[in-house]
A and B are shown apart, each in its own frame.
Chain A
Amino acid sequence: MVKDTGAQGSSDALRALSLPVPLPVKADGQGNPVTVQLKGRWLKVESMADRWRIDDEWWRSEPVSRLYYDCMVDQGLKVTVFHDLVAGQWFLQKA
């Protein structure tokens, strides 16, 4: 890890970090994820460690409204997924 030199950067060179990635997910009747597809394989959600919702940026033409799930899949692998309630699509939230 290098120290932050404090040098000024230019905003046109910024790159996003931890952008969500669209993810194929099968959900049950209540909308909870049952299986997720990672690296071409469908993995069963063995348990759900946490669930929370965020609603933000309501003033924008596309507000943020997401239902997050911390899931344990496939022998202890933890993934964070969310259901985008505006777009109606599932995403993998990268750390």
Chain B
Amino acid sequence: MGWFSDEILFYGGLIMAGVVLGILVIYLCASHARLARLNARLDAEYGEREKAGANRKGRN
């Protein structure tokens, strides 16, 4: 690898890392929306999820 390759490795790596990071952020946003829709659908099927111990009103 000559100097040319090292430059490509460095700058290319930085650029690709930035691109991947951007893709990851976009994906996470889209995934979050998908998850919300899925949760809504599951809530419709199974009922809303309750907090832990919400049904346990007893004293024990």
* B partners with A: no
Residues of B within 8 A of A (CB): none
